[in-house]
Structure 1
Amino acid sequence: MTEKRTRAAVDKPVSHQFDRHGNRIWTQVRQLLEHEHARLRIGQVSVPYGICVEPTNVKADGHGCPFRFRCVGCDHFRTDPSYLPELRAYLDTLRRNRERLAAATELDDWARTESTPSEEEIKRIRTLIRRVETDLEGLTDDEREQIKEATRTLRKTRTFSLGMPGIRAPGPNLRLERDA
């Protein structure tokens, strides 16, 4: 994937980037200068369903969110049409988890409450998906095709997992015990 092609792919969806409320971030399409591309890459980090511009999290390469990775509820979160498949999958997962936890009998009430996705989060994801889809529907066929091509290119460049940061499983205890 060439740098020129990647930059062209970044320029297309950037004008269709939304915050957590579904408000468009960039009100005008503009070509970014070379130094602006570098600044954008340095000042953001990929997170599930979009990007984060929160300085602490950016500095920690996406593993230092001070808000417990509640991206959709944070003003530092941005998303664009290239993340729609992940947003839809996340919405489906939230709804499935909500139903599964409602049916679980082996949990205390406090544990169920803490684990159950909130109705507000589900509503926020639905609204965000709807807003991005509505924006795409308002484009001409040619513009929609350009966004689709840019999305395909961007998705190819995402070769790493955008999953939530996890805790590495502890390795085996290799210390040999001796009898005295």
Structure 2
Amino acid sequence: MAAVINGRQPELRTYLDTLLRDRERLAAATYLDAWARTEATPSEEEIKRTRTLIRRVGTDLDGLTDNEREQITEATRTLRKTRAVSLGMPGVRPPEPDLRLERDA
């Protein structure tokens, strides 16, 4: 089976890992004011909802037939390919520095 079935929602797990890492990093940041730390720290509710969603999706996947799992795997593969397509949007580069030497006469 593909990663979505075997790996159990890798994007959700990555998101949860990011929330937990951010929470720990912000707790250790002694240079932040308390209000800034509070505003930037992921809420316990968000972490709990993400964990619940991961468990729920895993349980739902366990109840699927092999055919249904294959359909989900194919749909996920297609979605990931679509997301990877570049739209060719131009990037914005910083201005080039002026490297001319200024000399006094």
Tell me the TM-score normalised to structure 2 length: 0.69
Deviation beyond 4 Å, 4+ runs, structure 1:
none
What is the CA–CA distance in structure 2 between the aligned matches of 1:94 and 1:138, rounded to whole Å? 28
Query: What is the root-mean-square deviation of aligned Cα atoms in Å?
Result: 2.5
- CA deviations over 1:41-69 (Å, ceiling 9, x no partner): xxxxxxxxxxxxxxxxxxxxxxxxxxxxx
Q: Which protein is bigger by CA-based radius of gyration?
A: 2
Shift of 1:123: 0.7
**Per-residue deviation, residues 60-101 of structure 1 (Å, max 9, x unmatched):** xxxxxxxxxxxxxxxxxxxxx8xx322211110000010111
Change (3 A) 1:160 1:130: farther
Q: How many residues align?
A: 86
Matched residue, 1:145: 70
State the SS of the aligned residue for 1:158.
Answer: helix
1:67-146 equivalence runs, <5 A: 84-146=9-71
Shift of 1:156: 1.0
Q: How does 1:27-38 map to 2 (within 5 A)?
A: none
Supply the AA of the counterpart residue of 2:61.
L
Distance (Å, rounded) in 2 between the aligned partners of 1:169 and 1:118 = 34
Q: Structure 1 residue 130: deviation in Å?
A: 1.5
Instruction: Name the structure where helix makes up a greater proportion of residues.
Output: 2
CA offsets 1:26-47 (integer angstroms, 9 cap, x no match): xxxxxxxxxxxxxxxxxxxxxx
Can you give the 5+ residue segments of structure 2 that lack an aligned partner in the other structure?
98-105
Residue type at the aligned position of 1:91 = L
Structure 1 unmatched runs, 5+: 1-80, 162-167, 175-180
- Identify which of structures 1 and 2 has the higher relative contact order when contacts are C-alpha pairs closer than 8 Å and 6+ apart: 2
Identity of aligned residues (%): 76
CA distance in 1, matches of 2:74, 2:38: 42
Question: CA 1:102 to 1:129, structure 2 compared with 1: closer, same or farther past 3 Å?
Answer: same
- Judging changes above 3 Å, is the alpha-carbon distance between structure 1 residues 128 and 169 closer, same or farther for their aligned structure 2 residues? farther
**Structure 1 length normalisation: TM-score?**
0.42
